[in-house]
Amino acid sequence: MKTNENHSLRLSKCVLVPYRPKHVLKYHEWMKSEELQELTASEPLTLEQEYEMQKSWSEDDKKCTFIILDGSKLASDFGNEVDTMVGDVNLFFNDVDCSTSAEIEIMVAEADTRGKGIGKEATLAMMQYGIATLGVTIFTAKIGYNNKLSLALFHRLHFKEVSRSEAFQEVTLELVVTESVKSFIGSSLQEYLVSAYSE
């Protein structure tokens, strides 16, 4: 979407930046992994399709995407942003009945970066951005039955199961944004700074 195309979110462990053409090649390499395709319920795309997808997402007001950069690598790797990419986090506004409902997706693709709190921090920051900048009132997440880590992450963030699909083998979790949810997110994020993104 256009709203976040020049926004960067600085957090304590990672930095979120808008998805740009320079990120596509590495993103495409990640998505060749069958494990990641299964965990994120994604179909493999050709590189050309991936570039088209990046372009369409950057223009589509129903999709907000940030690339996650590892803050510790960024500190020692200035000038080479692509080397510090570790995943992505997305919001999709696809609920025809509620324009302020957003489905959230998170992926920490680099396995050696998992388990360090980056997935949780990036998810919380996207929720903060969704509420404060995009007016989200309900978050949903669709997670495969077997994706134990992701289920643990969203339960930890107080999402509750609202339905199950045997056909897709996934559960839908939901979190309604209340004042206590806002204060939970605010107190969980040690650092959250929205600044201008420049390449």
Ligand X SMILES: CC(C)(COP(=O)(O)OP(=O)(O)OC[C@H]1O[C@@H](n2cnc3c(N)ncnc32)[C@H](O)[C@@H]1OP(=O)(O)O)[C@@H](O)C(=O)NCCC(=O)NCCS
* Residues near ligand X (CB under 6 A): 39-40, 87, 105-108, 114-120, 141, 143, 147, 149-150, 152-153, 156
Tokens read off for 71: 């803050």
The answer to whether the CB of 53 falls within 8 A of the CB of 28 is no
CB of 198 vs ligand X, minimal distance in Å:
27
CB of 54 or CB of 140, closer to ligand X: 140
CB of 107 vs ligand X, minimal distance in Å:
4
CB of 81 or CB of 154, closer to ligand X: 154
Alpha helix segments (H runs only) across the chain = 21-30, 34-39, 47-59, 71-76, 118-134, 148-156, 179-188
CB of 119 vs ligand X, minimal distance in Å:
2
Any idea which residue has 């998992």 for tokens? 114
CB of 4 or CB of 150, closer to ligand X: 150
Cβ-proximal residue to ligand X, closest one: 119
Distance in angstroms (rounded) separating the CA atoms of residues 88 and 19:
9
CB of 154 vs ligand X, minimal distance in Å:
8
Cβ neighbours of residue 199 closer than 8 Å, sequence gap 6 or more: 20, 22
CB of 17 or CB of 173, closer to ligand X: 173
The number of beta carbons lying within 10 Å of the beta carbon of residue 89 is: 26
The number of beta carbons lying within 10 Å of the beta carbon of residue 11 is: 21
Distance in angstroms (rounded) separating the CA atoms of residues 25 and 141:
27
Distance in angstroms (rounded) separating the CA atoms of residues 7 and 171:
32
CB of 33 or CB of 137, closer to ligand X: 33
CB of 190 vs ligand X, minimal distance in Å:
13
Enter the DSSP assignment of 116.
Answer: S
Tokens read off for 94: 């696809």
CB of 50 or CB of 105, closer to ligand X: 105
CA 143 to centroid of chain Cα atoms: 14
CB of 95 vs ligand X, minimal distance in Å:
17
